[in-house]
Amino acid sequence: MSYTNEQVLEALKEVIYFPKADNIVSLDMVDHLEVTGNKISFTLLFPKPNDKSAAIVEQSCIDAIEKHLGSDAQVRGNITLKAGARDALSRVKHIVAIASGKGGVGKSTVAANLAVALAKTGARTGILDADIYGPSIPLMFDLVDAQPVAENRDGHDVIIPMEKYGIKVLSIGFFVQPDQALLWRGPMASNALNQLLRDTDWGELDYLVLDLPPGTGDIHLTIVQEVDVSGVAIVSTPQKVALADARKAFSMFNGEKTRVPILGLIENMSYFTPEELPDNKYYIFGKEGGRQLAKEAGVPFLGEIPLVQSICESGDNGKPVALQNDSNPVAKAFDELARNIIAILNKPKGSPFA
């Protein structure tokens, strides 16, 4: 009896890799599949060497194939276990997600400038625009017309991210027209994001910043289920309505299905300060609402980002304000934010975040 690759893959969809809560076919863990008559051989790719679940996954593959194709299928002894061959994130030390409970709080601006501030410390940094429905990172990094290329490596296409200001940059916005609306259902968006994460040559990074979409939904679940996120920082403004949505974001990332470490709260647009009068602060959206919410939630308050004219202009011009020296109050605030996040992420194991 002879079988096809399609029949084998269909059978293997029943095999779940529990650390990622998905089947091994969807996770792209099956490589070099060869079917000759009733002889079936393939390689199983695992994120880390000496994966404790490797033997269980291998036996589950044998059981699934024999269940669907019959005992004539010769698969025993023909499965090779290999570590890390396709895990593009294996050399990324920390993955930092930037989220918000609602839109309009400047989340992408914070993500872009945080990446710049991290890079200014000498850290190897990348940023992924995971805001599938409203990608804005290309504009903020002056890469609107950029077109990343793909290289074929070992039979698989690998995306090469763009580089700007010493940062590796990738966005779904690079692959669509700037004025094109992305009308994707949840699974389509999640699959696109997973491809950007897994099929990109990120190389060795100290920090990969993920700019998540606003709110809560499929994209966020995909991130925390597919990726080992080091921590998430929630962005809010001082208004009560924004803080109410920030509470929802805290709740989502603390949920049973997620359990992502919360780095803390970032209060954006904390106060308005004229650049010519940097010591003057006008709390036009309220005062210390973010600090109070962080205290109530039991998470660190990571910093206040002031509202000045240059932050909008710099974003529109593709030159994040954090590129400036610390004489600029906003650049200084982002430098402090980066230091706070670095300190939290590099605390000894077992130490509490707060």
pLDDT of the residue at 130: 86
Among 43, 65, 83, the domain boundary falls at: 83
At 73, which CATH number?
3.30.300.130
pLDDT surpassing 90 at residue 335: yes
Of 223 and 96, the structure prediction assigns the larger pLDDT to: 96
Together in a domain, 30 and 100: no
Together in a domain, 78 and 101: no
pLDDT digits (tens, 9 = 90+) for 39-75: 999 999 887 777 888 999 999 999 999 999 999 999 9
Q: How far is residue 141 from each of residues 7, 70, 124, 165, measured CA to CA in Å?
A: 45, 55, 17, 8
Q: How far is residue 275 from each of residues 112, 183, 307, measured CA to CA in Å?
A: 21, 40, 10
Together in a domain, 252 and 335: yes
Task: Give domain status of residue 350, yes or no.
Answer: no
pLDDT digits (tens, 9 = 90+) for 171-192: 988 887 666 655 556 566 677 7
Of 350 and 6, the structure prediction assigns the larger pLDDT to: 6
Together in a domain, 67 and 96: no
Among 55, 83, 111, the domain boundary falls at: 83
Any idea which of 221-225, 268-272, 334-338 has the lowest mean pLDDT? Answer: 221-225
At 326, which CATH number?
3.40.50.300
pLDDT digits (tens, 9 = 90+) for 125-152: 999 998 877 789 999 999 998 888 988 8
pLDDT of the residue at 133: 75
Task: Give domain status of residue 123, yes or no.
Answer: yes
Range of the domain at 262: 92-345
Q: How confident is the model at residue 85 (pLDDT cuts 50, 70, 90)?
A: very low
Q: How far apart are CA 156 and CA 17, in angstroms?
A: 21
Which tokens is 140 given? 């903020």
Domain count, the chain: 2
In 3D space, the residue among 306, 309, 308 whose CA is nearest the CA of residue 336 turns out to be 306
Q: How far apart are CA 183 and CA 189, in angstroms?
A: 9
Helices 5-12 + 54-69 axis angle, to 10: 120
| pTM for the model | 0.74
pLDDT digits (tens, 9 = 90+) for 303-333: 999 988 778 778 788 899 999 887 788 899 9
Are the beta carbons of 206 and 93 closer than 8 angstroms? yes
